[in-house]
Amino acid sequence: MKRRLYATPYAMWMLIFTVVPLLFVVYFAFTTKSGEFTAANFGKFFRPGNLPVVFDSFRLAFLCTVICLLIGYPAAYFLSGRDFSRGQALVVLILLPMWMNFLLRTYAMMTLLEKNGVVNTLLLKLGLPPQNLIGTEAAVLLGMVYNFLPFMILPIYTVMKKIDRRVIEAAEDLGAPPMKVFSRVVVPLSVPGIVSGITMVFMPAVTTFAISRMLGSGMIYLIGDTIEDYFINFNNRNVGSALSLTLMVLIVASIGLLRKADPRGEGGALW
């Protein structure tokens, strides 16, 4: 009974700020502006004009996830080393950018990449021609990796810290070389963290709109920008809700994938 009482504030918070807004999204997704039931709103997601945008969104999100995994896995492996005494300090440094507002981090990236920014200034001092970085896919992709990389490192690091070192020592005692220990022991045991990191990076990367708008300068248009336009510029919350609900289904599917690979939920926590 006491546990239920302690959970009441959290339950009320979730009901008011999560469940009720979600019900509104579902209602608007299946209705027209006049309130009539329809499923035609979901067809907007796959119409010819939106398909290239959807493809670009998933392509950039996939590239962002792959790059984050290629950078994050070695970083997590390095931080989780038992002989590395400064691991906790570096984990805090990885967390520091997350304590800053998302938009401020993206503005900082703009300062680096803009025409008279830090990168072009260094290129000029080196005698190299300046580059047009803002307004390119590379700038958007760099902004995604910069913002979402901690969400890849931390779950993998958490799972690796939980690996029983006696299992690794047993493999070494049985004569397994370091590469085989890594591929046959460490990697399989860290799969829950990998799946969690992929989920936590891929889904926000697919739905992002601030990064593409700020670093893409209107030249890179993603599905998140489409949803924003339907809500704000087109004043059509019905189609915007349908697009949002479609992406939410993808999030639920990714969570289902995570549960299959990590039934105990060991890779879902950041600590």
Q: What is the pTM assigned to this prediction? A: 0.83
- Which amino acid, 30? F
pLDDT band at 26 (very low <50, low <70, confident <90, very high): very high
In this model, does residue 3 exceed pLDDT 50? Answer: yes
pLDDT, mean of residues 81-87 = 61
Per residue in 150-178, pLDDT (tens digit) is 999 999 998 988 888 888 888 888 888 88
Fold (topology level) of 31-101+135-261: MetI-like fold (1.10.3720)
The four Cα atoms 37, 40, 42, 46 give a dihedral, to 10 degrees, of 180
CA atoms within 13 A on the CB side of 3: 0
DSSP state for residue 77 in the 8-state scheme: H
- Picking from 258, 252, 254, 228, the residue whose alpha carbon sits closest to that of residue 240 is 228
User: Where are the chain's structural domains?
Assistant: 31-101+135-261
CA distance 114 to 108: 10
> What number of residues does the chain have?
271
Whole-angstrom CA distances from 244 to 101, 107, 127, 175, 222 are 23, 26, 47, 52, 13
